[in-house]
Amino acid sequence: MRQYSEKQLEVLRAAAAEVQRAVGTMNYTPKQLQLLQLIYDYQEEHGYSPTYAELAKMLNVSTITVFEHLEALEKKYAITRRRHEARSVEITAPHFLLEQSKRDSLPISSLALKGNIAAGSPIEAIEDVSQQTLLGDIFSCKPSYYALKVRGDSMIDDHIVDGDYILVEQRDTASDGEIVVALDDNGHATLKRLYRENGKIRLQPSNTKMPPIIVDNVKIQGVFKGLLRKV
């Protein structure tokens, strides 16, 4: 998780105030905000920026579309890029960085347990916010995280077994190979690895005894980030 010193935060606040005085509150389109968030989260996880191709895959758009969005963000002084150099996108938007700093430093004293997720055959939609799992004394996580209880053994080769509690980051995009909470057109949810192939979606179990699920479309509800297990 990125940490800012007080001095760095002061610089960001001053820059934000200067930008606001000069051009008013900067408006970003929903797609531009999504792109900024993807870049920020990727940098947090990997320590460097994504390529245009990786961003295109995450957004399910062409690299040309990504280039156009980045060009628009650059004109709004939200990012900088070094020409002809891969992984060179850096976020410079003061307001956005300040919001991320506030979000990342938020203490979480409880984590919503939203219900069950199938690690096997898909089950009905997962949401059930009637329970709260108190985890603040164990670890900190982002406000966008929630927990699900696993039902089934389709992910045992990834050491996710029936009865585990998984930690999920609420997101609607994912890269190929990531473990996702996927919702199909019938409202059924399942936990599988996601792959895009030949215009289809392959939801791959991590259990050699189980076949993959091939569908035309899925709605990504979140991406697996960790698990808790009772001993």
Q: How confident is the model at residue 23 (pLDDT cuts 50, 70, 90)?
A: very low
Q: Please enumerate in sequence order all residues whose Cβ is within 8 A of that of 160, keeping only pairs 6 or more positions apart, or say none.
A: 119, 150, 166, 179, 191, 206, 224, 227
Q: Which residues are catalytic?
A: 154, 192
204 compared with 141, residue with greater pLDDT: 204
pLDDT digits (tens, 9 = 90+) for 50-71: 888 999 888 888 889 999 989 8
Residue 98 and residue 131: Cα distance in Å, rounded?
31
Q: How do residues 27-45 score in pLDDT, each as one tens digit? A: 678 888 888 888 888 887 7
Angle at CA of residue 109, ends 108 and 115, nearest 5°:
90
**φ/ψ of residue 117, rounded to 5:** -130, 140
98 or 83, which is more confident? 83
By CB neighbour count within 10 A (0-12 exposed, 13-18 middle, 19+ buried), where does 150 fall? buried
- The reported pLDDT for the residue numbered 83 is 76
- Asked whether the predicted pLDDT for residue 12 surpasses 70, the reply is no
**What does the pLDDT look like over 95-135, one tens digit per residue?**
565 555 545 544 444 555 555 666 655 544 455 544 445 45
* Residue range 6-104, CATH number: 1.10.10.10
The reported pTM is 0.48
- Name the H helices within the chain: 6-23, 30-46, 52-59, 63-75, 94-104
Mean pLDDT within 86-99:
70
Architecture per CATH, domain 111-228, reads as Ribbon (2.10)
Over residues 173-210, the pLDDT tens digits come to: 899 999 998 887 766 788 999 999 988 999 999 999 89
Residue with the larger pLDDT of the pair 84 and 110: 84
Q: Where in the chain are all domains bearing CATH 1.10.10.10?
A: 6-104
Neighbours of 168 (CB within 10 A): 25
Q: Locate CATH 2.10.109.10 in the chain.
A: 111-228
